[in-house]
Chains A and B, each alone.
Chain A
Amino acid sequence: MAGIRDTIDTKGRRLPPVSRRSLLVGATAAGGLALAWSVWPRDYRPNLTAAPDEHVFNAFLKIGDDGHISAIVPQCEMGQGVTTLLPQIMADELGADWRTVAVETAPINALYTNTLVVDEDSAAFMPRTGVPDFVADVRSWARREWAVRHAVMLTANSSSVRMFEAPCRDAAAQARALLMMAAARRWDADWQQCDTQDGFVTLGARKLSFGELAAAAALLELPAEPVYRASSADPLYGKDLTRLDLPAKVDGSANYAGDIRLPDMVYAAIRQGPFGATRLKRIDRKAGLASPGVLSVVEHERWVAAVARNWWAANRALDRFAPEFETGGTPISSDGIDRALAAALKGDGSRIARKGDVEDAMAGRERIAADYLVAPALHAPIETRTATAAPSGDRLRVWVATQAPAQCRDAIARATGLSPAAVTLFPMMAGGSFDACLDHSVAVQAAIIARQVKRPVQLCWSRAEEIMRDMPRAPARAKMTATLNAAGGIDALVARIAVPSTNHEVRARLFDGTPADVAQRDAAGRVDAAAVEGAGGVYAIPHRAVDHCPADIGLPTARWRGNADSYTAFFTECFVDEMAARAGADALSYRMAMLGQAPLLARCLLTATSLGGWEGGLAGTAQGLACHSMRGSHIALMATARASDKGLQVEQLVAVVDAGRLVNPAIARQQVEGGLIFGLAAAVGATTDYEGGLATARKLHQIGLPRLSQTPQILIEFIDSDRDPGGIGEIGVPVVAPAVANAMFAATGRRIRRLPLSAHPL
C-alpha cells in the first residue's frame, strides 16, 4: 500500500517545454508572480483507496497480490471508450496480460488535471496575436497552474488520449521499473536486463508474476530516469481489443446515476421555469401533497421538486402542485433569437483571425456573398439528467455523471453550505452527454433535496425537462463574402459569424457557479474566439478574415459535441462548394487546388472520393463533399443524398480520417461512426423552437432524431499514421451537414443554407 511518490508535472505535456527557470524569469518580467510561485503547492499525492491485498504504485495504477491490475481512469466514460483506451495504453507499457486489467474511476485530485484542454480552450478564447511571447508563456503557465490548483479534470474537446497518453505511459513505466527492480533483487541481477511480458517480469528463462512482486515493488524507490518498454512483438497498443464496458452494457448491469439503490431512498421529480430570470411564484401545496404516493415537496427559488416512493408518483404529483413561475424581461423566442443574430451580424464584430489584407484585396472587385443560418442544437442524450444524493450528518455523498468532477463537487458545496471536503462525489458513467454533463444543476438540486428531506434521494429530470431546460449548442448566422481571382479561385474570404459568446457563459457557470441567465447576460457582447473556432479553415486563400459578432440571444448556450466547428465547417464547406459551382469547377479539384499546405487533409479527400466513386460533382449525381480538420485530426466525407417523397434521404456516407496513430482502431471506428450519425442528426433535426422562454418541443419524437431506418450506408477508412493521436470523438460531426447540403445541391440544383436542412422546403 506504500510507495506513493507521485508529483504532478505542472509544465504540462505535449507542449513546448518550459523550464522552471524560464518560468521564474518570465514571471519576474511580468511582475510580482515569482513570490507567488514559491508558495504555490507543488506536490500532490495520490488519494487512491487500496484493498488490503492491493498496492498503490502511483495515481494511475494499483496492482494486487493476485496479479490484478487496477487502471485508474480520470475521465468520464460517456460512450467514447475511455475506460478501455487509457487502460490499454497502460497495459501495453506495463507488459500486462489484458485479461488481468480492471478499471477504477479516479477520485478528485490535481494529479489528473487536464491541462491540455485548459490550454487549448484558452488559446482559442484569448488570441495571443500581438502579445509578446514571454508574456504569453507566463499566461499559459499561470493558466495551467490555476487548472492544477482547481483540479480541472475536464472531459472535453476529444482530449482524453491526447492529454493522458503520456501520463498513462509514464505511470505504467514507473510501475514496470519497480516490478523489475523487485524481481532483480530476488534474482540478484541487474534490473535493467529484465523485461516484462503478459504479466510477468522475465530475465532469460526466469519469470515472476506481477502479483508475486507487487508488495515489495511498491516500497522501492523509482529510478532517476524513466525506462520505457522496448516495442513488443505483439503490442496491445493498436489492437482491436473489445471494450471492457461491453459485457455490462448488454445485460443491464452497467450502473448509471439512476441505477443507484440505497436503503430508505426516495425518488424526486422536478419542474423548472422558463429560461431567463425566473423564480417560482406559487404552488398548490394541498393538491400536490394529496397526490398518491407523495411524501414531501421541496420549494426552491427557481424550481420545485416532488418526492415520492417511486419516480412516476413524484412526477405525477408535480402536475397537481401546478407550479407557477415568474420570469423577468422579454421571454426568449425563436423569432427573437433570429432577430438578435441578424442584428449582431450587422453590428461591429471583432476580428479574430486575419491573413493577408482582405480589405485591400476586395476593394473595387465584385464581392460574392451568402448568408447561412444554423438553429440551436440539443444534446438530447437518452439518459435524462439524473443524480443520487445521500446525506449523513454534515456529510453528503453524491452519485452523478460529470465531465468536471471537482467543479461539480464545489457547486454542491456552494449550494448546500458544506465544505467541499464534506462532499463525496462518485463519478458515474454517462448515458450519452455530448457535453451535457458539463452542467451540474441536477447534482446540486439532488443535494438540496436530500439535505431537506434528510434521506437518500434520486432525482431524475423528465424528458420534457431535459428538452426544455437543455442549454443548447448556440445558434449562429454567418455572412460569407469572397472575391475571386481570374481563374475563379478564391482570392479573399471573410467569414462574419454572429453567435453568442458561449465560452464566457460556460466558464462562469462551471467555475463561478453563476446562474445561467446571469452568465448569459454577463457574456453578451464579449469577444469569444472559441465561438468561431474552425472558421479559419485549412485552405490556402491569400486573404482571409474571421469576425466574431457577439449575439445576445437571451437563451443560455453550452458546449456540445463538435462545438463551434459544427457550424463553422457548414459555413465554409458550403460556401466553397458554391464558389466551385460558380467557377464551373469540380468541387474536388477546386478544393485540392487550395490544399497544398494541408497534405494530410488532401490525402483524406482524395481517398474518400476514390472510395466513394466521385463522379465529378455533376448535376444529378447527388454526391457532395466536405472536409475539415480539428483537434489534430482530419476528415473528408463524401455524402450521397436525395430528396424523396419521404423528405431528405441520405443514402451513403464515405469518410476517410487521419487521426494519427490509433490506440484501438475498433473504438476509433465506433467514434467516427457515432460522430457521423450525431452530425446527421444535427443536419436534419436535434433542435427545437422556443416560445415564451421555453422550448416548444416536449417529447423526443418532436426533435427529429434519426432512427435505424434513416441510417445511411456508412463506410469509414483510416489513414495509417505514426503521428501523435488526434481527437476522435468530435471529428465525424462537422462534415456531415455541409456534405449532405452539397449533395442536395448536386441532386436538385438548390442550395440549402440553413440547418437543419429539413427545415427548408425540399
Chain B
Amino acid sequence: MTKFSVNDRPVEYRMDPETPLLWALRDASNLTGTKYGCGTGDCGACTVDIDGEAIRSCLVTIAECEGRFVTTIEGLSRDRSHPVQQAWVAEQVPQCGFCQSGMVMTAAALLRKNSNPGDAEIDAAMTNICRCGTYPRIRAAIRLAGRVLRGEERIAAAPPPGIRPEDAARAIPALRPPPGR
C-alpha cells in the first residue's frame, strides 16, 4: 500500500496511508529539506519530484505514491552539482532559504522537460511563494541553469559538502592539516 522509492531507495512507510507524503518524508524519513509552509498546495515549499513531475508533497498521500519514484532535494544531486543548484548559488538566489528547496525542485522539473523555457513558461511553472522576494533572481538562475544544461556555459559556484580537512589544507595556504594525520 505504501511501498515506493525515495531518492532511489525502496521504502515502506508504516503510517496511516492517508498521511501526506510531506510528513512521511519529514517525520519518518527525516528528509527535512522538504518544507511545510501551508499544507494546502499554495506555497510550494514542499515540492518534490514524483516520476518527473514537480508535485506539492502536502497534497499527495503516501497511498497515492505506491510504486512511484520520489526524489527530494536531498536526492537531486549528491554534491550540489545539479545545474539548478549551481545556478542558484551563482545568482545568489536564496535569502532566508526556507522556500528554496521547493523552488529548486520546481525549476529542476521544468528544465528537465524544456531546457530553454520562455518567460511565460517560467511564470507558469514557478507558482511557489517566496516572501523574501527572490523572484527576479529565480528567473535569472533558471536561464543560467538552462544554458548549463544545454552545454553553453559551465559554473562552479557552490562547493560540494564534506570536503576533507586534508584536501582543504592542500588548497588553502592558511589552513593546516589536522594534527595526527
Contacts and interface: CB of A to CB of B under 8 A. Distances in A.
B112 interface: no
B89 A250 contact: yes
Contacts of A99: 168, 171-172, 174-175
Interface residues of B, number: 78
Interface in B1-43: 15-16, 19-20, 22-24, 26-28, 30-40, 42-43
Contacts of A245: 94, 97
Interface in A212-234: 212
Contact of A246 (B76, B92, B99, B126): B92
A246 B88 contact: yes
B28 A310 contact: yes
Nearest to B33: A252
Interface in A451-507: 460, 462-463
A238 interface: no
Given A251-B74, A255-B32, A259-B32, A432 B131 contact: yes
Contacts of B137: 670, 673
Interface string A230-261: 00000000000011011111111111101101
Contacts of B84: 250
Chain B at the A interface: SS class: loop
A602 B28 CA distance: 57
B144 interface: no
A421 B77 CA distance: 43
Contacts of A670: 92, 95, 137
A382 B176 contact: no
B174 A209 contact: yes
A309 B131 CA distance: 30
B122 interface: yes
B151 interface: no
A254 B19 CA distance: 25
Contact of B100 (A65, A78, A250, A676): A250
Contacts of A259: 32
B59 interface: no
Contacts of B26: 258, 310-311
Given A313-B16, A380-B131, A431-B97, A258 B36 contact: yes
B115 interface: no
A382 B35 contact: yes
A211 B175 contact: yes
Contacts of A383: 35, 37, 96, 98
A610 B27 CA distance: 54
Nearest to B81: A251
A434 to B, nearest CB: 7
Contacts of B98: 256, 381-383, 431-432
Interface in B79-113: 80, 84-85, 88-89, 92-101, 104
A370 interface: no
Interface string A662-689: 0000110010011111100100000000
A211 B95 contact: no
A671 to B, nearest CB: 8
B40 to A, nearest CB: 5
Nearest to A255: B32
Contact of A460 (B30, B36, B135): B36
A292 interface: yes
Nearest to B87: A250
B174 A97 contact: yes
Contacts of A261: 30, 32
Most buried by B among A65, A68, A246: A246
A77 B158 CA distance: 20
A79 B158 contact: no
Contacts of A247: 80, 89, 158-159, 161
Interface of A: 53, 65-68, 77-81, 96-97, 99-100, 198-200, 209-212, 242-243, 245-256, 258-259, 261, 267, 292-293, 309-313, 315, 380-384, 429-434, 460, 462-463, 666-667, 670, 673-678, 681, 699-701, 705-709, 711, 714
User: What 5 A-B pairs come out closest when comparing CB atoms?
Assistant: A252-B33, A199-B174, A677-B133, A431-B98, A79-B96
Given A242-B89, A251-B161, A462-B39, 7 more contacts: A79-B132, A251-B76, A313-B23, A677-B132, A699-B38, A707-B127, A711-B136
